[in-house]
Amino acid sequence: MSNNRSETLFASACEHIPGGVNSPVRAFRGVGGTPVFFSRAQGAYLFDADERCYIDYICSWGPAILGHAHPEVIREVQEAATLGLSFGAPTEIEVEMAATVRELMPSMDLVRMTSSGTEATMSAIRLARGFTGRDGLVKFEGCYHGHSDSLLVKAGSGALTLGVPSSAGVPASIAQHTITLPYNDLDAVRAYFRAHGDSVACIIVEPVAGNMNLIPPKPGFLQGLRKVCDEFGAVLIFDEVMTGFRVALGGAQALYGVKPDLTTLGKIIGGGMPVGAFGGRRDIMQCIAPLGPVYQAGTLSGNPIAMRAGLKTLSLLRQPGFHEQLSALTKMLCDGLEAAGKKAGVPIVTHQVGGMFGFFFSDSAPWSFDEVMHGDTERFKDFFHAMLAEGVYLAPSAFEAGFVSIAHTEADISNTIAAAERALMASRR
């Protein structure tokens, strides 16, 4: 496939930007080849620098749940821009945003906005440490919570794709406080807490793991974490940067009926603009400055344009039937991929939670990091490139989740499944 303009642009990018990209997964290191450069997007489609169209299953890694460039969101952004880009002072719109988030996620008594998911998780952890007076942080292998020091220990997403799950540059004195346990293994959590529970400030977890492909929580896993935190006085943080407003209107906490102490948000809440948020129990959130001693701040936090884009997005996705339709489309895709695999004699299994999905070249779907790591990444690479040539843009790594938007039509999904069938048939030979 000729990718001329992307090749030229990538060569130029590599002159000016480390690895030619501003976030590592974009470099295609997980699949090889030249990253595609995009110039515009509309609905379910991305258009590359040569005006080639792709059905998009990344959706900007989640935010584009309404599809790209939704006209009502764009109108909000345009109107807001004429009123000033940033004030660094309070606005009415950020109050409306906080009230809306509280309504959709009732576990959040108070909400603070940030400019990225990384800031949200980093701040939530500092808060949990400040509140409990403890340093220990329990996370799970293959989960990704942004790129702050404490969280780049055995992390997922790009860190995993590039083979550097524990980043250089993180002082051992910081990493020593991060304890990484196997996802979906409640016994391991209980055992750790029995031995060291009184030193743990918090557990942070992706309630649906979307940074090592897609691994749903086993029944009882999240409930078990809640119980352990209650027993040992640790703060339970659900990182819903990816799952918030996507796996259900009220996020994974509504879907699985578990109330975390703190929640972190990002992606959808900004409607495609740079936004994150964290919030939760009033007594914990009251430890944040200016009310309490835990410092946290941001020049662009609560940015008025981002708030308008996010609020409009939330108002559109809370319409009745939205998540049912999104889930049905995603299920149609997953069922179709499995059927295409059967037809081609290539084993494919899928996981799906709401508008998120994962697929695996395997006979049985994985439920742990170790099982994901044993997947057939060579076959994934071939499949990825065959799909790209077919005009389907999947995540360029076997360790990322896929995303569907409400703008995807049944015809888009059918076309994707037909493309997958051709790609799999070809890969058999």
Q: How far apart are CA 267 and CA 314, in angstroms?
A: 12
* 144 binds ligand PMP, rule: CB under 6 A: yes
Q: How far apart are CA 139 and CA 145, in angstroms?
A: 9
| Cβ atoms 331, 352 nearer than 8 A | yes
Binding mask 63-102 for ligand PMP (x = CB under 6 A): ----------------------------------------
* Cβ-based neighbour number of residue 346 at 10 Å: 19
Per annotation, catalytic residue among 45, 54, 57, 144: 144
**Span from 164-172, 203-211, 359-367, 370-378 in contact with ligand PMP (CB under 6 A):** 203-211
CA atoms within 13 A on the CB side of 37: 19
Nearer to ligand PMP, 209 or 407 (CB): 209
User: What part of residues 235-264 is at the interface with ligand PMP (CB under 6 A)?
Assistant: 239, 241-242
* 146 binds ligand PMP, rule: CB under 6 A: yes
Per annotation, catalytic residue among 239, 256, 261, 381: 239
CB of 311 to ligand PMP, least distance (A): 18
* 206 binds ligand PMP, rule: CB under 6 A: yes
Q: How far apart are CA 288 and CA 206, in angstroms?
A: 23
Concerning whether 144 is annotated as a catalytic residue, the answer is: yes
CB of 422 to ligand PMP, least distance (A): 31
CB of 364 to ligand PMP, least distance (A): 25
Concerning whether 50 is annotated as a catalytic residue, the answer is: no
* 211 binds ligand PMP, rule: CB under 6 A: yes
SS3 state of residue 134: coil
* 224 binds ligand PMP, rule: CB under 6 A: no
- DSSP tag of 299: T
| Cβ atoms 144, 173 nearer than 8 A | no
> Minimal CA–CA distance to 208: which of 160, 235, 247, 260?
247
Return the residue of 24, 43, 67, 117 that touches ligand PMP, per CB under 6 A.
117
**Two tokens, residue 238:** 């659900």
Return the residue of 3, 107, 116, 161 that touches ligand PMP, per CB under 6 A.
116
| Cβ atoms 399, 163 nearer than 8 A | no
Nearer to ligand PMP, 80 or 268 (CB): 268
CB of 61 to ligand PMP, least distance (A): 5
Return the residue of 61, 193, 221, 245 that touches ligand PMP, per CB under 6 A.
61
First to last CA, the chain: 20
Nearer to ligand PMP, 203 or 242 (CB): 242
Nearer to ligand PMP, 243 or 327 (CB): 243
Residue nearest to ligand PMP (CB): 117
| CB-based contacts of 131, cutoff 8 Å, min separation 6 | 201, 235, 283, 284, 287, 294
| CB-based contacts of 61, cutoff 8 Å, min separation 6 | 242, 267, 400, 403
Beta-bridge partner residues of 138:
179, 203
Q: How far apart are CA 196 and CA 193, in angstroms?
A: 5
Report the interface residues with ligand PMP, using CB under 6 A: 61, 116-118, 121, 144-146, 157, 206, 210-211, 239, 241-242, 266, 276
Catalytic residues: 144, 239, 267
